[in-house]
Structure 1
Amino acid sequence: MTHDGPADHLEQNRRFWDDEAAAWHAPLARDHWSRTEPSWGLWATPEPQVTVLPDGIAGMRTIELGCGTAYVSAWLARAGAQPVGIDLSEQQLATARAMQEEFGLDFPLVLGNAEKVPYEDDSFDLAISEYGASLWCDPYRWIPEAARLLVPGGRLVFMRYSPLFALCASPEGAASTRLFREQFGLTRLEWGNHVQFILPHGEMLRLLRSCGFVVEDLIEVQAPRPAHRDYAEVSADWAHQWPSEEIWKARLAG
């Protein structure tokens, strides 16, 4: 399976995170870093509810693809893993380094592109992405790269917006009960100053299989009632009725 689309999303998204998004995302970093137990995504879904992290995480070599402020890698480090974080935003990594110093954790943070990671084949036991490469990178590039980086039997776990959310995401505001775009051909979403990627389930499944992955689980996340907040792109009420986000778990065959 190949994909020959444009790669201009990397520069667009780097500018978005360096020039705009980092300013509002940085204040959230301390809250995420200070959590004693991981909670995932928009609705802070507790780790015991979804079991994102595999058993035996202690000692695993892990890479967070599109790490942002690297709070996921911080959770992994506290669990005994050996994490590496990679992100293309200097501003996000600057915040991550400040958090490392504040919380007394130290692990490699790499300025780079999750679609072309400067590590050798078979370097990691776990690749993970929570709204990082899983949303902001071309899946036809970053998923084969994750497969290259993982040892046989290695795990890939990622969280992203759901395809249903992408179909219902309104150009003017929060997700609607109407469909605003077609599912066939859904891949690249242009949002003016940044680009996101969401594949339908069938296409994602075929892509993962073509890269040697065995899909072990797909969790469609339901927002709780009551939820701690709404978001500009989706309300908690909408996400209680339909999944706004999902978690994929896969294992590299071999």
Structure 2
Amino acid sequence: MNVDATPGVPGASAESVLGTAGIARRAVGAAESERASRAWWDADADAYLAEHGHDIGDVEFLWCPEGLREDDARLLGDVRGRRVLEVGAGSAPCSRWLAAQGASPVALDLSGAMLRHAAALNARTGIDVPLVQAGAEHLPFADASFDLACSAFGAVPFVAQPQRVMAEVARVLRPGGRWVFAVNHPMRWMFSDDPGPAGLTVTQSYFDRTPYVEVDARGAATYVEHHRTLGDRVRDLVAAGLVLEDLVEPEWPEGRGTVWGQWSPLRGALFPGTAIFVTRRT
């Protein structure tokens, strides 16, 4: 895991700050999952950005560790003059890129620490993107208030009720509005997070939806990831009144040597690591 420079605890890891004592596989409700995610990203924000800030940039729209950028993919279409919601924005490089393209973005994230980084980067770049702290399952916006919505590995893998996220995004989108989000490819759930040879062996069932949970000594969650199968994701979208227009599975580019968490050239050459859902509100 990453090393965090949490205020008052210089150099402490997120695990030590949160008292992570072990791993559990158990059900986790929405409230516990949200508490864990908020605490984790508050504790890990400094370290995550120290490690990956160069990769994601200050004013860049990177969809995934495979290196796919919105400059090239154009999955959102023409963003000029569009009001755009970024869900799980982190330090908000995607939202600043959108603003630089002539859009009017709003960057939403659960973590106050991540949003403090976003505010500092707004000041450093001179691109002042509005920042909102809230969870993705309860969006604090009026119905039909955005033309587009996007998320590059933000929020969706960490919520207990992803179907509610889809419904909430559909609610705040105007008719015809596009919602594009990138998540871990569902088949990755079968493998460990090892980017090396050990990560090529199936260790659990693709159909086991029991969350991955790190816990403290009392058994409370300190980190949570939730699994949905490919079919689950599609059903969540359909139930929300969204139309799936494309499913992008970025291939690992030849010559790209980046190792990013579980993503690596070794694994990327054999099976997908990212799924990007391109949808539209009816």
Residues 194 and 173 of structure 1: CA distance in aligned 2, closer, same or farther (over 3 Å): farther
Q: Deviations over 1:62-109 (max 9, x none)?
A: 111111001110111111111001111111000000000010011210
SS at match of 2:169: helix
- CA positional deviation for 1:23: 1.8
Q: Which has the larger radius of gyration?
A: 2
The one-letter code sitting in structure 2 at the alignment partner of 1:25 is Y
After TM superposition, the structure 1 = structure 2 runs for residues 2-21 of structure 1, keeping only pairs within 5 Å, are 6-7=29-30, 8-19=32-43, 21=44
Most deviating of 196-205 and 23-32 = 23-32
Q: Deviations over 1:158-185 (max 9, x none)?
A: 0011011111125x77562222222224
SS at match of 2:249: strand
Q: 1: distance between equivalents of 2:28 and 2:56? A: 34
The correspondence for 1:136, drawn from 136, 158, 161, is 158
SS at match of 2:269: helix
The one-letter code sitting in structure 2 at the alignment partner of 1:94 is R
Q: Give me the identity figure in percent.
A: 32
The one-letter code sitting in structure 1 at the alignment partner of 2:226 is F
Most deviating of 219-228 and 37-46 = 37-46
The correspondence for 2:225, drawn from 180, 196, 202, is 196
SS at match of 2:114: helix
Residue equivalent to 2:106 = 84
TM-score by length of 2: 0.80
The correspondence for 2:238, drawn from 206, 209, 221, is 209
Residue equivalent to 2:86 = 64
Mind listing any 5+ residue stretches in structure 1 that lack a counterpart? none
Is 2:115 aligned against 1:115? no
Most deviating of 182-191 and 128-137 = 182-191
CA contact (8 A) 2:213 2:223 kept: yes
Most deviating of 149-158 and 136-145 = 136-145
- CA positional deviation for 1:190: 2.4
Q: Deviations over 1:128-165 (max 9, x none)?
A: 11010222223122111111111111110000110111
SS at match of 1:194: strand
Could you list the structure 1 runs, at least 4 aligned residues long, displaced by more than 6 angstroms after superposition: none
Residue equivalent to 1:38 = 61
- CA positional deviation for 1:31: 5.6
Residue equivalent to 1:247 = 276
Residues 144 and 189 of structure 1: CA distance in aligned 2, closer, same or farther (over 3 Å): farther
- CA positional deviation for 1:34: 4.2
Aligned length: 246
CA contact (8 A) 1:67 1:129 kept: yes
The correspondence for 2:75, drawn from 35, 52, 75, is 52
Residues 5 and 26 of structure 1: CA distance in aligned 2, closer, same or farther (over 3 Å): closer
- CA positional deviation for 1:115: 1.1
Q: 2: distance between equivalents of 1:176 and 1:234? A: 10
Residue equivalent to 2:15 = none
